[in-house]
Amino acid sequence: MEDRPPQEKPLVERARRGDVEAYEELVRMHQTIAFRTAFAVTRSAADAEEAVQEAFVKAHGALGRFRSGAPFRPWLLAIVVNEARNRIAAGGRRERLALRAGEERRQEDAVPSPEAALLSRERREELLDAIESLPERDRLVIWCRHLLELSEAETAAALDCRRGTVKSRLSRALERLRAELGEEA
């Protein structure tokens, strides 16, 4: 996941020189992963949107300090998570929603994928409920690595820890998830 789109570096350079259109292009390139990461923290779409918007504005203001040639995404996600946590700290003014599994849309597909058949709707709900019941530290590392498919480096940046810590934290989080599900390791 650390492979960068080839156009990212020139866009960052243009944005650093004050090209707003180039920065808008960068925003479009990363807004989905940024929004989903913020949602993982806030579990409120409205808070996540505010956090991501603020994070992109702050990232733009800090572009002068961004190391030239470095991947943009981990740096951005660190700012996103920080902003999302600020929203939580500012007060739970919005209802926090747990993520839900998709509707039974796969069953309506003309040709269901073989994977879809392997995970029943009940199992999906059970897994999501169990993840949701974990402490934030465990929940976020599972979200980042498994649901958002962030790399270890990106997860480390987002959670402000070392890559080695991501491994150990994920291992412990999975143990707790198994316990929550009432399963043996």
Partner 1 sequence: MSELQRELELLRADVEFPATPDIAATVGQRVGRPARRRPRAPRRLALALVAALVLLAALTAAVPSARDAVLDLFGLDGATVEIRPELPSSETAPDLRLGERSSLGAAREAADYHVLVPAALGPPDGVFLNRAAPGGEVSLSYRDGRLLVSQFRGDRDPDYVGKIASQATTVHRLEGAVWIEGAPHFFFYRMPDGGLREDTLRLAGNVLLVERGELLVRIEGARSERRALEIADSLR
CB neighbour list of residue 68: distance below 8 Å, 6 or more residues apart: 12, 13, 16
Question: Which tokens go with 183?
Answer: 């399963």
> Residue with structure tokens 């918007």?
53
Contact mark string toward partner 1, 81..120, x via CB under 8 A: ------------------xxxxx--x--------xx-xx-
Q: Which stretch binds partner 1 (CB under 8 A): 2-10, 60-68, 77-85, 132-140?
A: 60-68
Distance CA 48, CA 50 (A): 5
CB of 71 to partner 1, least distance (A): 20
CB of 136 to partner 1, least distance (A): 18
Stretch (H or E) spanning 75 = helix 72-89
Q: Which is nearer to partner 1, 20 or 90 (CB)?
A: 20
Exposure string for 64-82, b = 16+ CB within 10 A, e = fewer: eebeeeebbbbbbbbbbbb
Provide the binding-site residues for partner 1, judged by CB under 8 A.
Answer: 18, 20-21, 23-25, 27-28, 31-32, 35-36, 39, 45, 48-49, 52-53, 56-58, 60-65, 99-103, 106, 115-116, 118-119, 123-124, 127-128, 142, 146-147, 149, 174, 177-178, 181, 183, 185
